[in-house]
Amino acid sequence: MKMSVIGCGYLGAVHASAMAELGHDVVGIDVDPSKIALLTNCTPPFFEPGLPEILTSAMASGRLRFSTDIADAAGSDVHFIAVGTPQKPGSHAADMRFVDAAVDALLPHLAPGNLVVGKSTVPVGTAARLADVITASGTGAHLAWNPEFLREGFAVADTVSPDRLVYGVPTGEAGERATALLNEVYAVALAASTPLVVTDYATAELVKVSANAFLATKISFINAMAEIAEVSGADVTQLADAIGFDARIGRKFLNAGVGFGGGCLPKDIRAFTARAEELGRGESVAFLKEVDAINLRRRQRVVDLTVEALARPVHTSKVAILGLSFKPNSDDVRDSPALDVAVQLHGLGAGVVATDPEGIANARARHPQLNYEVSVEETLRGADAVVLVTEWPEFRTIDPIWAANLVRTPIIVDGRNALDAVAWRAAGWTYYGLGRP
């Protein structure tokens, strides 16, 4: 099938490449010429495991091309909208400018029977509004909403083998046709018995935001338990294991630490709250404000713990920060707890030296005032305290005896509860976890 993917960021670039790998004829379109130049050169503009391989193979197949010209969307049967919906400056709501601009730009290139498919995470009600815009254009095209659940770091696998598919479609014949087209798009996944939910626009939009709200709530729940553990002497990691054995609860997303970040969970829960308030149901998701507050308190806790742990005043201390990206296997520093902690410690006068396997370039672009170091060894050398804030395998497997010989004072704050406290203490370190003794 011929398809266009509008927006070639973390979502769109992976979606376009994966669809071409699955046999479709795809054009990826983005307004950023540098991004398109890189992708055309088989170079992803960001770090995502597995993407270079499928991008190269899809380009070699001749089924994938990239363009800055929206007119190249003409001739496709399906047009995916995969642009960002960041937090609006000065507000908690989602900034819909990019989605609206993408649809407006696409309208002149739509033909009867085309299907516009929204993948971006949007406030409930957006699809109905955009469907009206498309209908009013008289192009004879229709709209479906098909939320994307991919996780950065696993984006390729999540796109090729999603754990579920959700189609929000209009009623009647248009809905049947939209479903048939999407079934063709996802034929491989459907043949592998991927669960499918076909529903209305509002439900499809809400599935995505409520899934992210649930995940954020789960993380903040365990981080709230960490706060209680800290004042009662309990160990939140054992608590998570114990409650996680209950199949109704499950152990996933119960890792207490410095909290969630990234381009999705934080802004999605805020946008959900803002949208619920607009709809007059703010109280229904008021708890998400608490989820956000608990999450942000954890960053402060790591900063405070570090300052308290230091054997000398913070402004005369060197603090080694392990991690900048919001999670391992990603170079994404958007709303990253790790970068936030580094910036706050720098603001308190600490001599911050930070490292990350992939996140340095993005972190430096946002915060050039910090010192960045590629080598873990040089990051640790002479440090008065070490703070682990992103649990990359490279950091989890650091030998505490080797590291103790590099630092000035063996103090470690494990902001992800990712290290073996017993081994680090045995190597002479003063070890602090979050919510564990």
Question: Which residues are known catalytic residues?
Answer: 264
If one asks whether residue 220 binds ligand UDX (CB under 6 A), the answer comes out as no
From the list 109-117, 145-153, 170-178, 379-387, the region that binds ligand UDX by CB under 6 A is 145-153
Least Å distance, CB 331 to ligand UDX, is 12
Least Å distance, CB 391 to ligand UDX, is 8
Identify the bridge partners of residue 196 per DSSP, sorted by sequence position.
165
Least Å distance, CB 291 to ligand UDX, is 12
Among residues 165 and 219, whose Cβ is nearest to ligand UDX? 219
Q: Site size for ligand UDX, by CB under 6 A?
A: 20
- Angstrom distance (rounded) from CA 102 to CA 162: 25
If one asks whether residue 414 binds ligand UDX (CB under 6 A), the answer comes out as no
**Residue selected from 21, 25, 48, 152 as contacting ligand UDX according to rule CB under 6 A:** 152
If one asks whether residue 264 binds ligand UDX (CB under 6 A), the answer comes out as yes
If one asks whether residue 149 binds ligand UDX (CB under 6 A), the answer comes out as yes
3-state secondary structure 370-432: CEECCCHHHHHCCCCEEEECCCCHHHHCCCHHHHHCCCCCCEEEECCCCCCHHHHHHCCCEEE
What phi-psi label fits residue 233: left (phi over 0), alpha (psi between -120 and 50 degrees) or beta? left
CA atoms within 13 A on the CB side of 142: 19
Among residues 148 and 340, whose Cβ is nearest to ligand UDX? 148
**Residue selected from 9, 28, 44, 261 as contacting ligand UDX according to rule CB under 6 A:** 261
- Angstrom distance (rounded) from CA 235 to CA 111: 60
Q: How many CB atoms lie within 10 A of CB 372?
A: 20
**Residue selected from 115, 185, 254, 342 as contacting ligand UDX according to rule CB under 6 A:** 254
**Residue selected from 262, 359, 410, 433 as contacting ligand UDX according to rule CB under 6 A:** 262
Among residues 9 and 259, whose Cβ is nearest to ligand UDX? 259
- Angstrom distance (rounded) from CA 225 to CA 228: 5
Structure tokens at 315: 């402004």
Residues 160/21, Cβ–Cβ less than 8 Å: yes
If one asks whether residue 357 binds ligand UDX (CB under 6 A), the answer comes out as no
If one asks whether residue 345 binds ligand UDX (CB under 6 A), the answer comes out as no
Size of the chain, expressed as the number of residues it contains? 437
- Angstrom distance (rounded) from CA 419 to CA 397: 8
Among residues 99 and 265, whose Cβ is nearest to ligand UDX? 265
If one asks whether residue 327 binds ligand UDX (CB under 6 A), the answer comes out as yes
Among residues 244 and 382, whose Cβ is nearest to ligand UDX? 244
- Return the percent helix, strand and coil in the chain, to nearest 5: 45, 15, 40
Q: Which residues bind ligand UDX (CB under 6 A)?
A: 148-152, 212, 215, 219, 253-255, 257, 259-262, 264-265, 326-327
